C-alpha cells in the first residue's frame, strides 16, 4: 500500500518546490494520462506517469505480439511544483485532469522515496527481457476460453511463442493440455 500523507490546500505548493519535495496525485480522464502529463509539463510542473510493458496483440487473429507501455496506475499521475510559489489550483482545470486527490480539503501526497521506488521498479521492468513481460509464465493460474474446455482453470506448465501447456485437473488426474495463447487468459 502506498504511504500517502496530507497537506492543506493553503500551504500546498508553497513549501515543496524543487526536486526533493513530495508528490501530489492527479486523477485523469480515462486513457488521457499522457495528455494530462503533456499539459501539466507545459505549465512547468514536474510530472511522472509510471509505465509498464505488456505484450499485446492488435487483432485476435494476428500472430505477432508486441511490447507496449501502459500506465502502471490507470487514471493517476504524480506531479509536483517546480517553483516555490507555484499554485496547484490550476491543475484541476488542466486538459485531461479530472481532479486532484484529496482527503476532504487536504491534498494527498506521496513521499519522494515512494515515488523513487516506483521509478526504480519501472526502470528494472523496462530493462528486463521480453520473456519476463509475458503474462503466461509457468505457475500462472489461467482460465480456458476455448469452447471445448470453456471455464476450466489450470496452471501454466510451459509456454512458447505459439503454444501454452496447461495442467488441468480432469477426473481427479492432472492432464497436460496444449493450447493456443488466445485460448487462455489469466484467471
- Residues 161-170 pLDDT 10s: 668 889 988 8
Look up residue 5 and give its DSSP letter: E
Can you tell me the mean pLDDT for 131-153? 78
φ/ψ of residue 6, rounded to 5: -125, 150
| Grid cell at residue 177 | 493440455
What does the domain layout of the chain look like in residue ranges?
Answer: 4-129, 141-186
* CATH fold of 141-186: SH3 type barrels. (2.30.30)
In the prediction, which pLDDT does 14 show?
40
In the prediction, which pLDDT does 43 show?
97
- The answer to whether 26 and 34 are in contact (CB under 8 A) is no
pTM of the model: 0.62
Looking at the domain that runs over 4-129, which CATH code has it been given? 3.30.70.940
In the prediction, which pLDDT does 16 show?
40
Look up residue 128 and give its DSSP letter: S
pLDDT tens sequence across 116-134: 999 998 888 777 655 555 6
Interatomic CA distance for residues 7 and 128, integer angstroms = 37
Residues 6+ apart with CB under 8 A from 105: 8, 9
Amino acid at each position: 500500500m502506498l504511504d500517502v500523507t496530507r497537506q492543506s490546500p493553503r500551504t500546498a505548493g508553497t513549501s515543496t518546490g524543487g526536486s526533493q519535495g513530495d508528490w501530489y496525485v492527479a486523477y485523469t480522464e480515462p486513457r488521457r494520462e499522457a495528455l494530462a502529463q503533456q499539459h501539466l509539463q507545459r505549465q512547468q510542473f514536474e510530472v511522472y506517469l509510471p509505465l509498464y510493458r505488456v505484450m499485446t496483440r492488435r487483432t485476435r487473429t494476428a500472430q505477432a505480439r508486441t511490447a507496449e507501455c501502459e500506465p502502471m496506475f490507470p487514471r493517476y499521475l504524480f506531479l509536483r511544483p517546480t517553483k516555490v510559489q507555484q499554485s496547484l489550483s490550476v491543475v484541476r482545470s488542466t486538459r485531461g485532469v479530472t481532479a486532484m486527490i484529496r482527503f476532504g480539503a487536504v491534498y494527498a501526497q506521496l513521499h519522494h522515496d515512494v515515488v523513487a521506488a516506483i521509478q526504480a521498479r519501472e526502470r528494472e521492468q523496462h530493462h528486463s527481457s521480453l520473456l519476463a513481460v509475458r503474462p503466461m509464465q509457468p505457475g500462472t493460474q489461467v482460465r480456458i476460453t476455448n469452447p471445448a474446455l470453456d471455464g476450466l482453470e489450470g496452471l501454466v506448465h510451459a509456454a512458447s511463442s505459439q503454444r501454452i501447456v496447461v495442467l488441468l485437473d480432469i477426473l481427479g488426474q492432472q492432464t497436460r493440455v496444449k493450447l493456443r495463447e488466445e485460448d487462455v487468459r489469466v484467471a
